[in-house]
Amino acid sequence: MTDAPDRPSVLTAVDGDVWRITLDRPETGNALTPALAAELLAALAARPEDTRVILLLGNGPRFCVGGDVGSFAGADDPGPFVGQLAHDWHEVIRAILHSPVPVVAGVQGAVAGAGVGLIGACDLVVCARTTKIRPAYGAIGFTPDGGTSWALSRSLGAPRALDILLSNGSLTAAEAHLTGLVARLVEDEELRSTAEALAAEIANGPIRAMVRTRALVRKAATRTLEEQLDDEAQLIAESADDPEGREGVRAFVEKRRADFRSAT
């Protein structure tokens, strides 16, 4: 499959405090191509500074089916082609992991291949109830990319992650929610409105404190409690000295709702 040169693969829009990024190749299941990877990375970098949350969505019945396997088959030298695509996609994953604002995703239909790693990099994932999550690498003789092995191991544990990966298995939305791969489970027709409402809710909060909290949570599984305590002490001190923390404390004492938007 090739992208039409006059049609973007990714759409962007400002929705209040939210920078909305939408994968827009529904006819391919938003399959990963070099163009989509480049456009998604550019969209993440183009976030207006005054927006406070990124919301990632996918148009069509499927959120992201992973790599465009047809393009793999058509490549003259598939190793370098797939390797370069993985490298480009990993820059997208890194941009999400290190985003200066929280990243919320709303997913539906199918999440496969590199799409699994994509949602694993996001901070909060809202998932439609009928969604199926399938790594699918084994079906084409590939190993995982895009952080998929990390996301599955982190949420399922190594034995269950290997079971899914080696048997070409899948997860229902309910299983993904139960194991923590996705944060919220909603009815299909409520997906977009729920994801948008959650993004708007997060945008009202202390964004810099949330990013510090994200760092603590991600590091917790690989560190000792002593190491975590040291980092918590440092980051809570930074938060207390941040305008967000000062505003939050003032609002508590004054018995009013904190205005974190003004805390710059």
> What pLDDT is stored for residue 264 in this prediction?
82
Classify 54 as helix, strand or coil.
strand
In 3D, which of 173, 192, 181 has the Cα closest to residue 18? 192
- Spell out the domain ranges in the chain: 10-203, 207-262
Question: Between vectors from CA 65 to CA 61 and to CA 71, what angle results, nearest 5°?
Answer: 125
Residues of the chain predicted below pLDDT 50: 1-3
> What pLDDT is stored for residue 213 in this prediction?
97
Q: How far apart are the first and last CA of the chain?
A: 46
Report d(CA 56, CA 47) in Å as an integer. Answer: 12
> What pLDDT is stored for residue 5 in this prediction?
55
> What pLDDT is stored for residue 169 in this prediction?
96
> What pLDDT is stored for residue 70 in this prediction?
87
Evaluate whether 128 touches 173 at the Cβ level (below 8 Å). yes
CATH fold of 207-262: Lyase 2-enoyl-coa Hydratase; Chain  A, domain 2 (1.10.12)
Token pair of 98, please? 């290190």
**Which superfamily is assigned to 10-203 in CATH?**
2-enoyl-CoA Hydratase; Chain A, domain 1 (3.90.226.10)
> What pLDDT is stored for residue 2 in this prediction?
46
